[in-house]
């Protein structure tokens, strides 16, 4: 049998990298697509630089891949200093976080069907709450919920399952501004029942479950990975 293939957007850093590493440890060939990669990215991960919003470029970047068993849409951006309140900033964030996820499913749809594969989209706790500083991030991640449910219904007849994870406060470069700020972090931690920050690997293990045979009858779900933040 040929080696199964996983495609992970945003797989060069943060949560995407942790997910990519877990699948590589399970013996899959992992292709990471994105604009950034850590300098110490393991050699087992194939990093291909590309913008998920450039559909033709994504087709070219994946043209050599046949059946794709796993697609994880982890590429995402956030803008600070009220940049998301401008129309340009708002469109930029939504284009990467939401439109980029839809584009990748579209690009790989036939190859996912050939493998009867699984898709995991990366949503967020902000899919449910309103961030006063990041309207585009909030809107894009809320859109990921609808995208996940719609594609779960659309692709189920082809044997493709589509689910999402919704990370909470995970220690990554994206969250460092909040977690390393004593004034903000104390209030956040007080609301987390499990009383610790999440790690990228916490999210990765859940993504692996959603793509495994153990979740063979699971599609269209959004699974929070937040230490209980959303219910506190």
Known catalytic residues?
137
Which of 102, 51, 55, 73 has its CA nearest to residue 7? 73
Write a three-state SS string for 53-64: CCHHHHHHHCCC
Helix axes 200-210 and 14-25, enclosed angle (nearest 10): 50
Which of 220, 175, 164 has its CA nearest to residue 198? 175
Q: How far apart are CA 105 and CA 195, in angstroms?
A: 36
Q: How far apart are CA 196 and CA 229, in angstroms?
A: 11
Residue 69 has, within 13 A of its CA and on its CB side, a CA count of 17
Counts of helices then strands in the chain (DSSP H, E)? 8, 7
């Amino acid at each position: 049998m040929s080696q199964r293939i996983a495609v992970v957007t945003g797989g060069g850093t943060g949560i995407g990298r942790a997910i990519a590493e877990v699948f590589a440890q399970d013996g899959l060939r992992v292709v990471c697509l994105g604009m950034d990669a850590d300098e110490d990215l393991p050699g087992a991960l194939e990093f291909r630089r590309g913008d998920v919003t450039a559909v033709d470029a994504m087709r070219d970047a994946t043209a050599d891949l046949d059946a794709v068993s796993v697609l994880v849409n982890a590429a995402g951006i956030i803008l600070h200093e009220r940049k998301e309140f401008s129309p340009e900033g708002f469109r930029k964030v939504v284009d990467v976080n939401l439109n980029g996820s839809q584009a990748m499913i579209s690009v790989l749809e036939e190859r996912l069907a050939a493998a009867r594969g699984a898709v995991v989209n990366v949503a967020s706790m902000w899919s449910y709450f309103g961030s006063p500083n990041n309207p585009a991030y909030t809107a894009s991640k809320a859109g990921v919920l609808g995208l996940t449910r719609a594609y779960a219904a659309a692709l189920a007849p082809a044997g493709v399952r589509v689910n999402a994870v919704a990370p909470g406060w995970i220690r990554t470069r994206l969250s460092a501004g909040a977690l390393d700020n004593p004034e903000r972090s104390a209030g956040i931690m007080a609301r987390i029942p499990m009383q610790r920050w999440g790690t990228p690997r916490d999210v990765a293990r859940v993504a692996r479950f959603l793509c495994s045979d153990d979740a063979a009858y699971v599609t269209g779900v959004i699974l929070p990975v937040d230490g209980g933040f959303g219910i506190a």
